[in-house]
Structure 1
Amino acid sequence: MTKFRPCIDLHHGSVKQIVGGSLSADERGLLTNFESDQPAGYYASLYKADQLRGGHVIKLGPGNDVAAREALAAYPGGLQIGGGIHVENAVDWLRAGASHVIVTSWLFDSSGCFLKERLDQLVAEVGKERLVLDLSCRGQGEGWVVAMNRWQTPTDLKVDVATILELAGYCDEFLVHAADVEGKCEGVDVRLVEFLGRHSPLPVTYAGGANAFEDLERVDRLSGGKVDLTIGSALDLFGGSQIRYADCVAWNRGL
């Protein structure tokens, strides 16, 4: 069954909901849907109280380490951490309380070429059971390619059946943000959800575009219950009006 997975997106130390495709290096075109007056630890404590596991903390750029550590300390073992993760800091984040580390950009060179040797190094350092591979992607032709550097730079790694099956041997889960619809509340990428449900041998969390409580049922149906759903900007917890957080908690409990 598809589960609701919570998130804490951090930007300059604050909990925010951002239109993913607008997050460039200079931030000139940044579109922010919501900025919380509550600290990251507040949300982590809430998720812990509601027994929501497998959520993720994503550091969107620099200046987020303190807030991220606060969240992990509030819910040790209950949250994954991503954003700027590499072989030299991964163990430190696990020791700080993360259940898993999430990695994308470090697995590529500056031009977007996949570096398999870096994945081998990371697996040797933390073990595949503590690693989540972020295959957050943008559409390209009829398919998708992984996007790095805050979803701005397309890479040479296609999100296709061969990639999914190969990388499944190196991690515990996949995280997939659909960067083209992230933060827009215009609906989930139906083709991508169906693809992930059909082909991934591992648990997958999908994020991007959810705009109605019924999206939980829709993702459950489209993926055969194999893909979990993260909901951000549409959630009342983050200033949205379309989806109640309490309803998502109840969904997970089967109420």
Structure 2
Amino acid sequence: MTPRCSLFRPCIDLHQGQVKQIVGGTLSDKSPDTLKTNFVARQSAGEFARIYKENNLEGGHVIKLGPGNDEAALDALSSWPGGLQVGGGINEKNARYWIDAGASKVIVTSFLFPDGRFSLEHLKSISEIVGKGRLVVDVSCRRRGDRWLVAMNKWQDITDMEVSQNSLDMLSEYCSEFLIHAADVEGLCQGIDEDLVRKLGEWVTIPTTYAGGARDISDLDLVHRLSGGRVDLTYGSSLDIFGGAQVKFQDLVKENTLRQAKNQGNEGV
């Protein structure tokens, strides 16, 4: 069977109501002065959503980094109903609201880890509320030696879950997709975590998007090779639409169109 091609997945990161690109490891409620921001957009979240819609870039995610982002998130969802996933503060009480507001899927992390400890009960409850097919589990993580531990609360707090074959197999019983930010390299434009992407290619059995460190259009090929086409890639701070100088958005769109066509052709084989 011909393997699928890894695709480019777009993002809209929201902080204090604006579209921003932030160095992930600098987000902190305790020390807000440490925050390092690479880019603050003049355009609204809705404008970015329309750009993604016009270029047929499916599977993108809107992430609310802290409070004050609901209005901007709703703007994005209303600009492309059913075309974007939304995450950030999602729990069993508001998950259905965001689906009804136009999210294709909801993305959940912190709700699954009360006091930093994984709760299967919480996972089952939110999966039942929105349905497995509408749930994405965000297992964004920080590296600790040769392991990766899930990080929650804007990647500030380390949980008791290791990203591994066993944990991903268990989680995939209740969700349809994974989103994984490598928080240690997020926003640095210094290269992806190749070891993590390689392991994800071995472990995942459902659609998975990796984010963190992408700095060149060739990284899409790199992720494809390392993961065997099982992992897609998000670009952020390196993109010209986010103030970056390394990667042109339109070049990625053209590449993605070719890859989507190949995937569709492979499905027919």
**Given the two structures, how large is their TM-score scaled by the length of structure 1?**
0.98
d(CA) in 1 for partners of 2:200, 2:222: 14
1:77 to 2:75 alignment: no
2:123 to 111, 119, 123: 119
Aligned mate of 1:157, from 146, 158, 161: 161
Q: For residue 96 of structure 2, what is the aligned residue in structure 1?
A: 91
Moved over 2 A (4+): none
Residue 146 of structure 1 aligns with which residue? 150
> Is 1:56 matched up with 2:61?
yes
The unaligned stretches of length 5 or more in structure 1 are none
Aligned-partner Cα distance in 2 for 1:7–1:160:
25
1:199 is aligned to 2:203:
yes
Match of 1:243 in 2: 247
Is the partner of 2:173 in helix, strand or coil? helix
CA distance in 1, matches of 2:97, 2:235: 28
The 5-angstrom pairing of residues 216-235 of structure 1 reads: 216-235=220-239
SS at match of 2:124: helix
Q: What is the identity, as a one-letter code, of the residue corresponding to 1:117?
A: E
Which whole-Å deviations, capped at 9, do the CAs of 1:188-217 have from their partners, x for residues lacking one?
A: 000000011111001100000001110001
Look up the match of 2:178: 174
Unaligned runs of 5+ in 2: 260-269
Aligned partners of 1:84 and 1:4: how far apart in 2?
Answer: 25
Deviation at 1:40, TM superposition (A): 0.4
Aligned equivalents of 2:119, 2:228: Cα separation in 1: 32
- Describe the superposition over 1:68-105 as per-residue Cα deviations: whole angstroms up to 9, x where unpaired: 00000000111000000000000000011000000000
Aligned to 2:110: 105
The alpha carbon displacement at 1:140 in A equals: 1.4
Report the Cα distance in structure 2 between the residues aligned to 1:187 and 1:140, rounded to whole angstroms.
18
Offset at 1:141? 2.2
* Offset from partner CA, 1:111-136 (integer Å, 9 cap, x none): x1111110111011011100000000
Q: Distance in 2 between matches of 1:222 and 1:79?
A: 26
Structure 2 match to 1:68:
73
Instruction: Find the partner of 1:47 among 43, 48, 52.
Output: 52
Alignment match, 1:187: 191
Distance across 2 between alignment mates of 1:178 and 1:77:
26
Q: Secondary structure at the match of 1:4?
A: coil
CA RMSD of aligned residues (A): 0.8
Distance across 2 between alignment mates of 1:12 and 1:164: 32
Q: Measure the CA separation in 1 of the matches of 2:226 and 2:128.
A: 35
In the alignment, what sits opposite 2:267? Answer: none
Give the AA of the match of 1:128. Answer: K
TM-superposed CA distance for 1:252, in Å, is 1.1
Give the Cα separation in 2 of the matches to 1:186 and 1:151: 19
Q: 1:22 aligns with which of 26, 40, 46?
A: 26
What residue is the counterpart of 2:12 in the other structure? 8
- Map Cα deviations across residues 118-169 of structure 1 (whole Å, 9 max, x no partner): 0111011011100000000001121101000100100000101100111111
- 1:163 alignment partner AA: S
What percent of counterpart residues are identical?
Answer: 56
Counterpart for residue 39 of structure 2: 34
